[in-house]
Amino acid sequence: ENVMTQSPSTLSVSPGERVTLSCRATETVSGNLAWYQQKPGQAPRLLIYGASTRARSIPARFSGSGSGTEFTLTISSLQAEDFGVYYCQRYDDWPPSITFGQGTRLEIK
């Protein structure tokens, strides 16, 4: 099983600062990597897919990068509304096989 490990588990950052979240796989995932943001009581929200493609209506301050087994989500200038838990997700082309990381909780200082 391809296990996804996210770091750090929790992060507390001041508005305006740059944030980098990491996601590491035990096996190569090629470019099939997505990122989601989830706020309390809400459904997850798609941010990035294909490792670096921003989803519709996602602000440009969110960017994704990486390949192979190492991936990064960057928030260039943290806004107050960016709090929540961030999950990475690896997915196979076919048949569907999906694994999520355990999440990184992002708190606003």
Partner 1 sequence: QVYLVQSGAEVKKPGASLKVSCKASGYPFITYGLHWVRLAAGQGLEWLGWINPGNNDSRYSEKFQGRVTITRDTSTNTAYMELSSLKSEDTAVYFCARDLGMSSSVFEYWGQGTLVTVSS
Distance CA 36, CA 34 (A): 7
CA angle 35, 38, 41 (to 5 degrees): 160
Residue 105 contacts partner 1 per CB under 8 A: no
Q: State which residue, 53 or 77, has the beta carbon closest to partner 1.
A: 53
Contact 78, 13 (CB under 8 A): yes
Rule CB under 8 A: choose which of 9, 14, 60, 94 binds partner 1.
Answer: 94
Q: Is 14 in the site for partner 1 (CB under 8 A)?
A: no
The tokens for 46 are: 């798609």
Token digits of residue 94: 């076919």
Query: Among residues 77, 81, 102, 107, which is the contact residue for partner 1, using CB under 8 A?
Result: 102
Which parts of this chain interact with partner 1 (CB under 8 A)?
Answer: 32, 34, 36, 38, 43-46, 49-50, 55-56, 87, 89, 91-92, 94-103
